[in-house]
Structure formats: C-alpha cells, structure tokens
Amino acid sequence: MMLLPNHLSGRWTSGTGTGSVLRDPVLGTELVRVDATGLDLPAGFAFARTQGAAALRELTYRARGELLAAIAKVLQANRDAYYEIATANSGTVKGDSAVDIDGAIYTLGTYAKLASTLGDRKYLFDGDATSLAKDGTFQSRHFLVPTRGLALFINAFNFPSWGLWEKAAPALLSGVPVVVKPATSTAWLTQRMVKDVVDAGVLPAGALSVVCGSSAGLLDALEPFDVLSFTGSAETAATIRSHPAVAQRSVRTNIEADSLNSAILLPGEDATSPAFDLFVKEVAREMTVKAGQKCTAIRRAFVPESLYDATAAALNARLGKTTVGNPRNETVRMGSLVSRAQLQSVRDGIAALRQEAQLLHDGDTHGLVDADPGVACCVGPTLFGVRDGDAAHIVHEREVFGPVATLVPFRSVEHAVSLVRRGQGSLVSSLYGSDPAALADTAIELADSHGRVHVISPDVASSQTGHGNVMPQSMHGGPGRAGGGEELGGLRALNFYHRRAAIQAGSAVLAALAG
C-alpha cells in the first residue's frame, strides 16, 4: 500500500516507521499509509524559516497574491482527483466535497484579490501617524511587519482541503511559510494538494511543507517567532496551550475548538411564516451537510414554546427524506462519518443526549443505501428535544460531531439568549425572523459570545450564504469554549501573521517609511 511522503526541508521524505493506514469509511478498505517517523523536524523548520520565509518576504503583497492565484489554478486543474480522494477517504457526497474543495479554491481566490489592494509593499500601515510633541516634530506610527518564523497548522479531519488553504492563504500572503500537519484519518487530500502545488513549482522552496502522521515533536521544534494554528478538540487545545513552546516561548497561538452553535427562531412567527420555513430548512441542512461534521453546524435549535411541536414535526418530515449511505450512489444525500472512531464518538454522544432529551427523529430508522451497516461509518440524522432547556446540561456542553441536533423551546428572547449563552462561547448563531429591529437587537446582544451571527430573513432567503458556510470575508472563530481564535475576516486574518510595532521618530524618518 502506497506510503505518502512528507515534504520538509524542500524535499520529499518518507517516514521510516510502519505508519498509520487511511481507510475508506464507507467500504472499510485500506487506501494509503502515512508516517512521520525519522523526520528531522528542527532542520525542516529551520529550512522553512530561512529559505522559505526569506524568499516570501522578498516579494511584495501583490506578488504574494499572484502566488495564491497560481495555487488556485493548480488546484482547479486537479479538482477531479480531489473529489475522488474525498469520496474515498472522507465518505462525502459531491456537494459536501465541494464545501471542502471548492470552498478552498474560492478562499484562495478571495485573498488573491485582496492582495492587489495592498499594493507593491513589504509591510503594512496600522493607522496614521500621531503627534507626540506639541510642535508636531516627534510622532508615532504603527506598522505591521511579517513575523520572522513559520506557521504550523495542526488541522482537523473534517476539512482536509479548506482547513489548509483558509489558513495558508493569509499566511503566505503575509510572507510566512507554512507547515501543515493534517489529521491522520483524512490526511490524503491535504498531502495530495501540497504535492500538486509543490510539484507545479509555483512556490519558493520551504514555503509549504506537509508532515503526515504523528504530531510528536512538532511543538518542540517551534521558536518564539513562529505561530501555531490549531483546529480540533478542547482537550488537545489545553495540551497545546500548556506546551513550553506556548507557555514559555510565547509562540502565538490561534485555537478553534468545540462549539455548541445555535439557531433561534424569533417570536412573532407562526408555522406558516416564511421565517419558520427558512428556519426548518436551515436546521435540517446544517444537520446533514457533511453528516454534521462541520465545526459551525447547528447543534441547538431554539423556538418559541408555542412552535415546539410544529417545528419538531416539520424537521421530522424533512429529515425523514434524507437518504444515507454510499456517496457513490447518486440517490444518496448524506455520506458517512470519517472513521470508526468518529462513529463511536457520535454514538456515545447520542447515548449521552438520550439521558436528558427526547428522541424526535431517530437516525437508526434510516436504512443505508449501498453500504454495509457493519462496515460503513454512517449514522442517520438524529433530532432530540428537551422541554426544559434550563434544566438540561449535556445539550449545552457536549458537541456531538455528527448529524445530531436538539430542539429547545424558549419563553422570551431574553430566555433564548440565556440558553444560547450556556454554550459558553460559540462560533456562530443564526437568527430567523422578519422584524429588522428585533433581529438587529438580538444579533448585537449575541455578538460578545460568538464570532459570527448569521441573520436570515425572508428578504435574503435567496442571497444568504448559509449558517454554516464560512465566508472568507467574515471572521471565523469564537470565544470561550470555541477556543478564542480569529481566522479569516478578510484582511483581518493577516494580523495573526504580522507583528505590530510603533515607530516613534521625527517626520523625516516616518516620511521615508511612508514612501
């Protein structure tokens, strides 16, 4: 079975151990192996910091933007291969693979366009100069300059493509080389994309590296000016934050962890309202897209008490139509989870929710299409309901990373907001209604505990971008339980890869830097 090589120190190197086997989660077959045994990580990181970073920093933002466009072109040319890998290794239907693959290409393209607004410069201004002297001869101006280190991405299994490129686009645009360590179970697509881009020769040597397999030693090799971006569990996040690289060497860290995202149907609607319909459609879609394996997926759906039964019925009807199974069968709407481990984790989560919630739609009633239930990592969409959201705990605290959500009734908007806050900080909450003032008030009320609030009203029914879709123009991240990170948000993403400094000087010196 093919052993995927790692790319480090500007060359392809296979691990010397037995490695880990990647499987088809639907068929159970073995696909490829990955292994990182024997890699000289400190040397590889040093190569990225010296060769890769120096070459990138020699370029202007505009030129780096052209690199991103070139990467997008390479990925576009190899798109069919990526869809095949996604089907085989992630078990996703075409539309779900698109979120990962085409989402990445779109994000790269967005940053390529943003780059041209930064012009032929090698550093950025952060505001105008401020006078520090009464006569104005001595001033302070803030600048943003690329950090002189590398960016290490420790990524999650659910977005092997988008997870790499949504981080790499702002990093490379900032002049910072990238080392990506994809989650092992779906590492193939990440490795293949890096391979295509490296082989196409569009990037300087050392600008893009990939290490597949164990993450042992990666953090040990980090130095003070490196940055670390992690997407994964809150448990691993805590380990990362306590590592000497972060705790002692001040390595800047961005973390995206667990999130109990929510959707709220505001009061004032009934079961015949367009907003009710939009709510039901979005909740069902978020539960089933990528089999619920999106960090942004709706986990908690809040409705006015009077609409609880009607919503349960509407969701039940919609979820019942979801065909589950082998993504190669064109009648299948929802594929599988990525691994047996994830299947077990979701089953455990469902068992836990059963302790405090009522089953409103039983995923086990979905027979699998073209898939062996004893082999395939498939689980049907599962809707729970709790009548008393205040008394419930698990629904607010446990992220079940599959097609699972819970319906919760509320008495008032204030009550809904207090229940949403029980999530202790989330990536996204979506609001549904038809009164702009009420939607605005609730949106700003939720802003402190969410990285994004997505507002769906009938007037934007056809133009809204989806609760769970991460648009590169908007910030992605969330406080508290969600990890406290900030990604994307257009050019805001560049902050993480730059260092801010105030230069205090006379006007002649500042004029020389403004040129």
Nearer to its own copies by Cβ, of 40 and 223: the residue is 223
Q: Does 207 bind its own copies (CB under 8 A)?
A: no
Report residue 370 as tokens: 């073209």
Place of tokens 């086997």: 21
Q: How far apart are CA 119 and CA 114, in angstroms?
A: 10
Nearer to its own copies by Cβ, of 77 and 503: the residue is 503
Nearest-approach distance from CB 274 to its own copies, in angstroms: 13
Kindly identify the residues of this chain, within the stretch 40-59, that bind its own copies according to CB under 8 A.
Answer: none
Q: Which of 16, 116, 117, 250 lies at the binding interface for its own copies (CB under 8 A)?
A: 250
Residue in 166, 269, 282, 295 annotated catalytic: 295
Q: Does 439 bind its own copies (CB under 8 A)?
A: yes
- Which segment (94-102, 186-194, 278-286, 435-443) binds its own copies by CB under 8 A? 435-443
What is the C-alpha R_g of the chain? 24
- Taking a C-beta distance cutoff of 8 angstroms, is the pair 372, 350 a contact? no
Give yes or no: 378 in active site: no
Q: Which of 43, 247, 313, 317 lies at the binding interface for its own copies (CB under 8 A)?
A: 247
SS3 category, 36: coil
Kindly identify the residues of this chain, within the stretch 136-175, that bind its own copies according to CB under 8 A.
Answer: 137-138, 140, 142-143, 145-148
**Phi and psi dihedrals of 210, rounded to 5?**
-135, 135
Q: Does 464 bind its own copies (CB under 8 A)?
A: yes
Q: How far apart are CA 363 and CA 509, in angstroms?
A: 67
User: Following DSSP, what letter does each residue of 180-223 receive, concatenated?
Assistant: EE--GGGHHHHHHHHHHHHHHT-S-TTSEEE--S--TTTGGG--
Q: How far apart are CA 145 and CA 152, in angstroms?
A: 18
Q: Does 274 bind its own copies (CB under 8 A)?
A: no
Q: Does 511 bind its own copies (CB under 8 A)?
A: yes
Nearer to its own copies by Cβ, of 318 and 481: the residue is 481
Kindly identify the residues of this chain, within the stretch 467-496, that bind its own copies according to CB under 8 A.
Answer: 471, 473-475, 479-484, 486, 489-490, 492
Kindly identify the residues of this chain, within the stretch 89-128, that bind its own copies according to CB under 8 A.
Answer: 123, 126-127
Q: Does 2 bind its own copies (CB under 8 A)?
A: no
Residues binding its own copies: number (CB under 8 A): 87
Nearer to its own copies by Cβ, of 341 and 460: the residue is 460
Q: Does 254 bind its own copies (CB under 8 A)?
A: no
CA triple 175-179-184, angle to 5 deg: 150
Nearer to its own copies by Cβ, of 200 and 505: the residue is 505
Q: Which of 82, 172, 449, 493 lies at the binding interface for its own copies (CB under 8 A)?
A: 449
Q: Give the H or E element holding residue 438.
A: helix 436-446
CA 238 to chain CA centroid, Å, is: 18
Q: How far apart are CA 245 and CA 252, in angstroms?
A: 9
334 beta partners? 324
Report residue 84 as tokens: 């095949």
Report residue 406 as tokens: 């819970």
Give yes or no: 256 in active site: yes
Give the residue numbers marked as catalytic: 256, 295
